Amino acid sequence: MLNVAMLSKWHVHADGYARQVKDYGANITCVWDEDAGRGAEWAKNLGVDFEADLDTILARKDVDAVICDCPTTMHAPVLIKAAKAGKAIFTEKALAPTVAECDEIAKAVKENNVKFVISLPWLCRPETQFAKKAIDEGLLGEITLVRIRNAHNGSSANWLPEYWYDEATAGGGAMMDLGCHPMYGVAHLCGTPKRITSVFNSVTDRPVDDNAVNLIEFENKCIAVVETAFVSYKSPSSFEVYGTKGTLIDRDGQPLMIAAESLSNVNSGFIPVTNLPKALPSPMVMFLDACTKDGPIEFGLEKARSLPLLLEKAYIAHKNNSVEVFNEA
């Protein structure tokens, strides 16, 4: 049986990940947390040991893998230690606030040959997979614009934890958290970024952004609009892909709709997509399958790096009121 250590309950998804581990049939053996009081309470609730020292927990023989939910700005030192200890790694997004830190983590993961999966659940959706296939096969012609919106009212309704607004630990606000999903989504669909600019503000006057938009141009001339917020009441998630020969529209609670020149019913406008692919396993199941069955890993180091590549420049553009250019291929 796979033995797992939970590394911190800082992230709001930590409890959910623990349930997924147990539902899979893996064994949680211990908990570490940078907040000892929080960690001890969580360990008690889980019925497992609490270890206050990270090195001690990583040295335990009953730890094969770790689930990392510590503050985003702590990911690099925690994950590098885990990799050097030979532990398989599942981590919450974003991998780190900067590309340099991501590269340090990747170096440790590769040198120690440990399995690595990052949580990118939006890419598991059948709708996302269909969109990627439609783009790659030219069904929509040349892609001109992708728009993705992901927002809720966690700040305006005051249901997010207050530490969520500490830039020193979180690395940013709404765009660093909820905005991750549309950001790695446009990276997946659009390819290599060319330049980016940002408009962020704080409606609730907290220290980090709670209302944010990025505008990104990619090398293929596609423009992406990424929208996120912690101050939007019942905001439906939106996903749109526009091309020279077709368009995809996805809304919460509605089927994916398509209009394309190549379809026989071109004159009838939008129609529902009926041939959606099967959803991918969740990132956690993907990770546990990789550890126990040597299953495939879709969301590894390359995917993990593509998100901070955009996020780092987005926050620089916000703070400098600038347009930032990407110098990497």
Which CATH number fits the domain that encloses residue 229?
3.30.360.10
Residue 71 has pLDDT above 80, yes or no: yes
Backbone phi, psi, residue 134, to 5°: -60, -40
Residue 320 has pLDDT above 70, yes or no: yes
pTM of the model: 0.95
Beta bridge partners of 218: 193
Distance CA 251, CA 271 (A): 14
Q: Hey, what are 128's tokens?
A: 């996302």
pLDDT in tens, 205-224: 999 999 999 999 999 999 99
The Cβ-side half-sphere exposure at 140, using a 13 Å CA radius, reads 25
Residue 210 forms part of a structural domain: yes
Backbone phi, psi, residue 311, to 5°: -65, -45
Q: What pLDDT shows up at residue 329?
A: 44
Q: What pLDDT shows up at residue 328?
A: 57
Q: What percent of the chain has pLDDT over 90?
A: 96
Number of domains the chain is built from = 2
- Can you tell me the mean pLDDT for 92-106? 97
Strands 49-50 and 27-32, bridge-based pairing: parallel
Are residues 30 and 70 located together in one domain of the fold?
yes
CA angle at 159 for the pair 153 and 237, rounded to the nearest 5° = 30
Beta bridge partners of 214: 198, 226
SS3 label, residue 311: helix
pLDDT in tens, 258-271: 999 988 665 668 99
- Can you tell me the mean pLDDT for 277-305? 97
Are residues 215 and 106 located together in one domain of the fold?
no
Q: Which domain holds residue 153?
A: 122-279+309-325
Backbone phi, psi, residue 324, to 5°: -100, 135
Are residues 175 and 259 located together in one domain of the fold?
yes
Backbone phi, psi, residue 188, to 5°: -65, -40
Distance CA 145, CA 319 (A): 25
Residues 6+ apart with CB under 8 A from 4: 21, 26, 27, 28, 29, 63, 64, 65, 66, 67
Are residues 258 and 173 located together in one domain of the fold?
yes
